[in-house]
Amino acid sequence: MNLPIRKEEGFEPAAMEPAQDFQTAISPVSVGVGISVVPQSVSQTTRPGVIYRECTRRGPRHRAGGDDIF
């Protein structure tokens, strides 16, 4: 998974784990061992230990070949 935002924000994770759903994506966050990038709609879900921050950068645009352009 290539998320250019991670380098732009000054960090490179030691490991990256893709999640099949958003609840799985925020689980490591809730126990203090990870961060996750999720759609704004997920912020309607409250979970102890999870704080949502808005990302003000523009989202990816999609090419016909399937690659995202950031």
How confident is the model at residue 70, as a pLDDT? 46
What is residue 48's predicted lDDT score, i.e. its pLDDT? 94
pLDDT of residue 69: 47
Higher pLDDT, 16 or 57: 16
As a whole number, mean pLDDT of residues 33-38 equals: 86
| Domains of the chain, residue spans | 37-62
Specify the 3-state DSSP secondary structure of 41.
helix
- Is pLDDT above 80 for 65? no
Q: Print burial letters for 48-68: b (CB count within 10 Å at least 16), e (below 16).
A: eebebeeeeeeeeeeeeeeee
Residue 14, CA distances (Å) to 6, 28, 30, 59, 63 in order:
12, 14, 18, 24, 29
The model's pTM is 0.61
